[in-house]
């Protein structure tokens, strides 16, 4: 065992470039599946939300063997919202496979994940994926990636990266466009040739490793996951737990596991270079150092980028509170958020300053980062109310406010570009580039993050679903001034009961409905969008008054336009400061912060 070579690799890319598909192929050709085992696509995306959304949210480890060499593979998220996962995982790998679409080329989030790898001194392997596309432009894309390396300040050695070409869904990688292949052998060969294996002489040094991820097992308790930097770690041995603040305490590892295929296998010892999972240390945290008693200095702390957005997680106070949820109190919320903090290092939780409101201020890396947490809580049986997302500002040396910016790349049919460009300009966006092929326009904007809250649904409507928008963080710039928010008001129910087709039919003339017939509503619940800029109090529960006289033609069956049903992300983007999203295991509702007309009049100018 002490002679076995170990290589750790990460697959990094923009969303939808084919990361999870490539990992599937690596596992399949690396012998991770038994002959009779059912193979599931995107097998590493094991979380329900990952499968439903089609994205990777949590980085995960697996291991295969190639030519007697153990290769640990880390599948990383492509969304900048989950940057905290990417940042700490990069420290556990020897090289990265940078996956780039042969047609799209490097996208904004490609820049983000690549920058993290270059900063740590890793030399990437470039894999141009989807070369079977009709609009592939692989050679141009290689030049674009080279320019990106130069922009990010890559070293001379990093600039001399190896380029491969492939079709991940078919499990094919080739060394150049002209030399066909039938498997991933060229990729495996390149990995072994470039890395060679973890230095064996480090196995003779005193044991040391840093915790990069946490897990939980109902039988073993809290799990610490990380790469062994030096020496050999053994089960049931005494070690020191070194915290970043300089404190230390003796600990014993009760259970030790390594990755083998898709499974965790118990072992008695693991070597330097391997990724291990250990149990028995109850208060272990990300960034902690586990080491031999002779080691006294902890490793450098893992630096995580600061949050850019916050939302208030409040106790649900609607008239329907507690009907379907199991966890509804502030104590339940506090316990759940504290559990999340243990494994989600990109998150921050603060108590609300206003003592009249029960809840917490939760800070994260973006709307998606926070909405994934909310969706997880909803599925676990929590009920809560969420406030409008707020962007977090910084200040410069002169105490002037700085706000986070986003780089946005938009591709859309030419006939819709005028409307979209006009809206981006109104939101204080600055156009960086524009290109057109006659049928579709591509624009690149630098725009404040707060201007994009609520823009995606408008963009989808304006482009009739044919537009594509990708975005990534683009630093901080001086405050851009006031930006107009939602132009339309809302229709607010002034009565409680079930909605009726007769009243909804009348309300359709006033705007867009968010509820259908026979939906239970309460006073203060938002039932639709008003066609004008002001809020409108309505009664969606009104029935037709019955008389003895039948009027000709008016008693026919009422036909309603399909209502607009919002998902969680759309609801969070839509609301204003005086509104909340009510989240329960079964329903997502929009409501006013103050439910009655009198309360709203009293607090008209009192925003959160």
DSSP 353-385: S-TTS-EEEEEESSHHHHHHHHHHHHHTTB-EE
Kind plus residue range of the DSSP H or E element containing 158: helix 156-159
435 annotated as belonging to a binding site for a ligand: no
- DSSP for residue 139: H
130 annotated as belonging to a binding site for a ligand: yes
17 annotated as belonging to a binding site for a ligand: yes
Between strands 263-266 and 172-174, the pairing is unpaired
Tokens describing residue 82: 């989950």
Residue (of 208, 233, 203, 188) closest to 64 by Cα position = 188
89 annotated as belonging to a binding site for a ligand: no
Kind plus residue range of the DSSP H or E element containing 592: strand 588-592
Q: Across the chain, which distance is largest between two alpha carbons, in Å?
A: 98
18 annotated as belonging to a binding site for a ligand: yes
Name, in order, each residue with C-beta under 8 angstroms of 290's C-beta and a sequence gap of 6 or more. 207, 208, 209, 210, 211, 224, 226, 233, 239, 240, 241, 242, 251, 253, 278, 281, 284
SS in 3 state form for 203-235? HHCCCEEEEEEEEEECCCEEEEEEEEEECEEEC
What value, to the nearest 5°, has the Cα angle with vertex 533 and ends 528 and 537?
50
User: Quick one: 453 exposed, middle or buried, by C-beta within 10 A (0-12, 13-18, 19+)?
Assistant: buried
Helix (H, G, I), strand (E, B) or coil at 144: helix
Query: Rounded to whole angstroms, how far apart are CA atoms 313 and 173?
Result: 47
Name, in order, each residue with C-beta under 8 angstroms of 577's C-beta and a sequence gap of 6 or more. 387, 388, 607, 608
Name, in order, each residue with C-beta under 8 angstroms of 152's C-beta and a sequence gap of 6 or more. 111, 114, 115, 118
Are 240 and 246 within 8 A, CB to CB?
no
Strand partners for 249: 241
125 annotated as belonging to a binding site for a ligand: no
19 annotated as belonging to a binding site for a ligand: yes
Q: In what order do the strands lie in the sheet with 60-66?
A: 60-66, 69-75, 6-13, 95-101, 125-129, 162-167, 172-174
How many helices (H) does the chain have, and how many strands (E)?
Answer: 14, 35
Alpha-carbon distances, residue 386 vs 66, 267, 319, 451, 485 (angstroms): 49, 45, 16, 19, 18
Q: Can you give the C-alpha Rg of the chain in angstroms?
A: 27
Half-sphere exposure of 502 (CA within 13 A, CB side): 10
497 annotated as belonging to a binding site for a ligand: no
Tokens describing residue 141: 């894309």
Phi, psi angles (nearest 5°) of residue 280: 115, -5
How far is residue 15 CA from its own chain's centroid?
10
346 annotated as belonging to a binding site for a ligand: no
Query: Rounded to whole angstroms, how far apart are CA atoms 406 and 469?
Result: 12
Query: Rounded to whole angstroms, how far apart are CA atoms 414 and 424?
Result: 16
Could you list the residues known to form a binding site for GTP, using ranges: 16-21, 129-132
Could you list the residues known to form a binding site, using ranges: 16-21, 129-132
């Amino acid at each position: 065992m002490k002679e076995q070579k170990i290589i750790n690799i990460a697959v990094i890319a923009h969303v939808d470039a084919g990361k999870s598909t490539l990992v599937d192929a690596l596992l399949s050709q690396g012998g991770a599946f038994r002959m009779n085992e059912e193979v599931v696509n995107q097998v590493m995306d094991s979380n329900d939300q990952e499968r439903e959304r089609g994205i990777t949210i949590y980085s995960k480890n697996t291991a295969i063997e190639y030519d007697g060499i153990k290769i640990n593979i880390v599948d990383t998220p492509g969304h900048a919202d989950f940057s905290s996962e990417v940042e700490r995982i990069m420290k556990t790998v020897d090289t990265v496979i940078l996956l780039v679409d042969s047609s799209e080329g490097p996208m904004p989030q490609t820049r983000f994940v690549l920058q993290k790898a270059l900063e740590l001194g890793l030399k990437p392997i470039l894999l141009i994926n989807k070369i079977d596309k009709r609009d592939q432009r692989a050679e141009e894309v290689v030049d674009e990636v080279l320019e990106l390396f130069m922009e990010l300040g890559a070293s001379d050695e990093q600039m001399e990266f190896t380029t491969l070409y492939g079709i991940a869904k078919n499990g094919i990688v080739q060394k150049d466009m002209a030399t066909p292949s039938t498997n991933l052998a060229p990729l495996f060969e390149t990995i072994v040739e470039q890395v060679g294996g973890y230095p064996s002489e480090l196995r003779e040094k005193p044991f040391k490793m840093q915790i990069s991820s946490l897990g939980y097992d109902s039988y073993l308790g809290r799990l610490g996951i990380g790469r062994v930097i030096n020496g050999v770690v053994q089960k049931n041995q005494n070690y020191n737990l070194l915290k970043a603040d300089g404190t230390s305490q003796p600990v014993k590892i009760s259970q030790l596991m390594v990755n083998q295929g898709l499974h965790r296998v118990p072992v008695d010892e693991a070597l330097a270079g391997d990724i291990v999972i250990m149990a028995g240390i109850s208060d272990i945290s990300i960034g902690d150092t586990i080491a031999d008693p002779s080691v006294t200095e902890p490793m450098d702390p893992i630096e995580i980028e600061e949050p850019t957005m916050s939302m208030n997680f409040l106790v649900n106070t609607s008239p329907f509170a507690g009907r379907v949820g199991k966890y509804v109190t502030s104590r339940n919320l506090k316990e759940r958020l504290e559990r999340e903090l243990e494994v989600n290092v990109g998150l921050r939780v603060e108590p609300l300053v206003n003592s009249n409101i029960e809840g917490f201020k939760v800070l994260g890396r973006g709307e998606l980062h926070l909405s994934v947490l909310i969706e997880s809580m909803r599925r676990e049986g929590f009920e809560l109310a969420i406030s409008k997302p707020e962007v977090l500002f910084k200040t410069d040396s002169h105490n002037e406010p700085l706000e986070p910016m986003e780089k946005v790349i938009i591709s859309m049919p030419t006939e819709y570009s005028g409307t979209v460009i006009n809206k981006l300009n109104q939101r204080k966006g600055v156009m960086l580039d524009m290109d057109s092929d006659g049928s579709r326009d591509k624009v690149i904007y630098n725009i404040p993050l707060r201007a994009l809250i609520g823009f995606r649904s408008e963009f989808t409507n304006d482009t009739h679903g044919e537009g594509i928008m990708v975005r990534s963080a683009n630093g901080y710039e001086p405050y851009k001034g006031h930006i107009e928010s939602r132009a339309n008001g809302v229709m607010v129910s002034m009565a409680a009961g079930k909605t009726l087709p007769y009243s909804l039919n009348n309300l359709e003339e006033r705007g867009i409905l968010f509820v259908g017939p026979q939906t239970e509503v309460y006073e203060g619940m938002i039932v639709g969008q008003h066609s004008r800029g002001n809020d409108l109090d309505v009664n969606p529960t009104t029935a037709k008054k019955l008389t003895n006289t039948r009027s000709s033609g008016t008693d026919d069956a009422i036909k309603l336009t399909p209502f607009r049903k919002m998902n969680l992300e759309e609801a969070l983007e839509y609301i204003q400061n005086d509104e909340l999203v009510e989240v329960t295991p079964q329903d997502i509702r929009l409501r006013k912060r103050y439910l009655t007309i009198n309360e709203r009049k009293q607090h008209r100018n009192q925003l959160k």
